[in-house]
Chain A
Amino acid sequence: MSGKGMNLTLQIWRQKDANDKGKMVDYKVTDISEHMSFLEMMDVLNEQLVNSGEEPVAFDHDCREGICGMCSMYINGEAHGPDRGITTCQLHMRMFNDGDTITIEPFRAAAFPVIKDLVVDRMAFERIQQAGGFISVNTSGNTQDANSLPISKHAADEAMDAATCIGCGACVATCKNSSAMLFVGAKVSQYALLPQGQVEAADRVKNMVAQMDLEGFGNCTNTGACEIECPKGISLDNIARMNREFMAANIKG
Chain B
Amino acid sequence: MTLDSKVPEGPIKDKWTSYKDKINLVNPANKRHIDVIVVGTGLAGGSAAATLAELGYNVKAFAYQDSPRRAHSIAAQGGINAAKNYQGDGDSTYRLFYDTVKGGDYRSREANVYRLAEVSSNIIDQCVAQGVPFARDYGGLLDNRSFGGVLVSRTFYAKGQTGQQLLLGAYSAMNRQIARGKIEMFNRHEMLDVVIVDGKARGIIARNLITGEIERHSAHAVVVGSGGYGNVYFLSTNAMGSNATASWKIHKKGAFFANPCYTQIHPTCIPRSGDYQSKLTLMSESLRNDGRIWVPKNMEDVLAIREGRKKPTDLSEDERDYYLERRYPAFGNLVPRDVASRAAKERCDAGYGVNQTGEAVYLDFASAFERYGKEQAKIHNIKNPSKEKIIELGQAIVEAKYGNLFQMYEKIVDQNPYETPMMIYPAVHYTMGGVWVDYNLMTTIPGCYCIGEANFSDHGANRLGASALMQGLADGYFVLPYTIGDYLADDIRTGKIPTDTKEFDEAEKEVVDRINFFVNNKGTKSVDYFHKKLGKVMWDKAGMSRNAQGLTEAMAEIKAIREEFWKDVSVPGEANEMNPELEKAGRVADFLELGELFAKDALVRAESCGGHFREESAELDGPQKGEAKRNDKDFAFVSAWEYKGEPADAVLHKEELEFKDIELKQRSYK
Contact = CB atoms under 8 A, between A and B. Distances in A.
Interface in B50-78: 50-51, 54, 65-67, 69-72, 74-75
Given A33-B274, A119-B578, A141 B128 contact: no
Interface string B553-583: 0000000000000000010110001101100
Interface stretch (A38-46, A101-109, A172-180, A235-243): A38-46
A196 B65 contact: no
Interface in A6-22: 16-17
A37 B188 CA distance: 25
Contacts of B36: none
A253 interface: no
Given A33-B273, A67-B161, A144 B129 contact: yes
A63 B126 contact: no
B70 A43 contact: no
Interface stretch (B277-285, B375-383, B453-461, B509-517): B277-285
B298 to A, nearest CB: 22
B172 A133 contact: yes
30 contacts: A1-B308, A16-B577, A36-B274, A43-B528, A49-B572, A50-B526, A50-B581, A56-B572, A58-B578, A58-B580, A62-B70, A64-B239, A65-B282, A125-B67, A126-B187, A137-B130, A139-B173, A143-B122, A144-B129, A145-B125, A146-B134, A147-B141, A153-B137, A156-B135, A160-B135, A163-B133, A163-B164, A164-B161, A194-B131, A194-B133
B239 A150 contact: no
Interface stretch (A74-82, A86-94, A221-229, A244-252): A86-94
B577 to A, nearest CB: 6
A123 B171 CA distance: 14
A190 B133 contact: yes
Contact of A65 (B75, B137, B179, B277): B75
Contact of B572 (A55, A133, A150, A166): A55
B65 A62 contact: yes
Interface string A108-151: 00000001100101110110011101111111110111110111
A196 B131 contact: yes
Contacts of B414: 34-35, 92, 94
A204 B205 CA distance: 37
Interface residues of B, number: 81
A139 B133 contact: no
B159 interface: yes
Contacts of B66: 60, 70, 121-123, 126
A61 B240 contact: yes
A126 B577 CA distance: 23
Interface of B: 47, 50-51, 54, 65-67, 69-72, 74-75, 84, 86, 119, 122, 124-131, 133-142, 158-159, 161, 164-165, 168, 171-173, 175-176, 178-179, 185, 187, 210, 237, 239-241, 273-274, 276-279, 281-282, 308, 356, 411-414, 477-478, 526-528, 570, 572-573, 577-578, 580-581
B273 A159 contact: no
A-B residue pairs, 6 tightest by C-beta = A150-B140, A134-B172, A160-B133, A159-B133, A143-B129, A146-B128
A58 B514 CA distance: 22
Given A43-B278, A143-B129, A163-B168, 7 more contacts: A1-B356, A60-B66, A62-B241, A131-B179, A157-B136, A163-B158, A190-B131
A135 B131 contact: yes
A144 B130 CA distance: 12
Contact of B140 (A37, A62, A137, A153): A153
Majority SS of interface residues in chain A?
loop
B347 to A, nearest CB: 21
Contact of A143 (B125, B140, B175, B573): B125
A12 B185 CA distance: 32
Contacts of B133: 156-157, 159-160, 163, 190, 194
A200 B578 CA distance: 39
Nearest to B411: A90
A203 interface: no
Contacts of A65: 75, 237, 279, 281-282
B507 to A, nearest CB: 27
Contact of A149 (B128, B185, B412): B128
B238 to A, nearest CB: 9
A62 B69 CA distance: 12
A190 B130 CA distance: 11
Which among B131, B159, B165, B282 has the highest number of chain A CB atoms within 10 Å? B131
A116 B136 contact: no
Contacts of B165: 160, 163
A214 interface: no
B519 to A, nearest CB: 11
Interface of A: 1, 16-17, 33-37, 39-40, 43-44, 47, 49-51, 53-56, 58, 60-65, 67-70, 83, 86, 90, 92, 94, 115-116, 119, 121-123, 125-126, 129-131, 133-141, 143-147, 149-153, 156-157, 159-160, 163-164, 166-167, 190-191, 194, 196-197
A116 B578 contact: yes
B225 to A, nearest CB: 15
A50 B572 contact: yes
B278 A39 contact: yes
Contacts of A50: 526-527, 570, 572, 581
Contacts of B51: 139
Nearest to A134: B172
B579 to A, nearest CB: 8
A197 B132 CA distance: 11
Contact of B67 (A36, A55, A90, A167): A167
Given A36-B274, A37-B278, A146-B142, A141 B179 contact: no
A137 B172 CA distance: 10
Contacts of B75: 63, 65, 67-68
Contact of B187 (A86, A123, A133, A140): A123
Contact of A126 (B67, B126, B273, B581): B67
Given A60-B66, A145-B125, A147-B142, A164 B578 contact: no
Contacts of A164: 159, 161, 164
Nearest to B279: A64
Nearest to A141: B122
A188 to B, nearest CB: 12
A141 B412 CA distance: 41
A160 B69 contact: no
Contacts of A137: 126, 129-130
B645 to A, nearest CB: 30
Contact of B47 (A33, A63, A92, A139): A139
Contacts of B278: 37, 39-40, 43, 64
A37 B171 CA distance: 30
A26 B414 CA distance: 29
Nearest to A167: B69
Contact of A141 (B126, B136, B172): B126
Contact of A130 (B158, B179, B239, B274): B179
A9 to B, nearest CB: 19
A184 B128 CA distance: 21
B413 to A, nearest CB: 8
Contact of B50 (A68, A86, A139, A144): A139
Nearest to A57: B580
A185 B160 CA distance: 22
A135 B130 contact: yes
A5 B468 CA distance: 40
Contacts of B69: 69, 167
Given A143-B125, A150-B139, A70 B175 contact: no
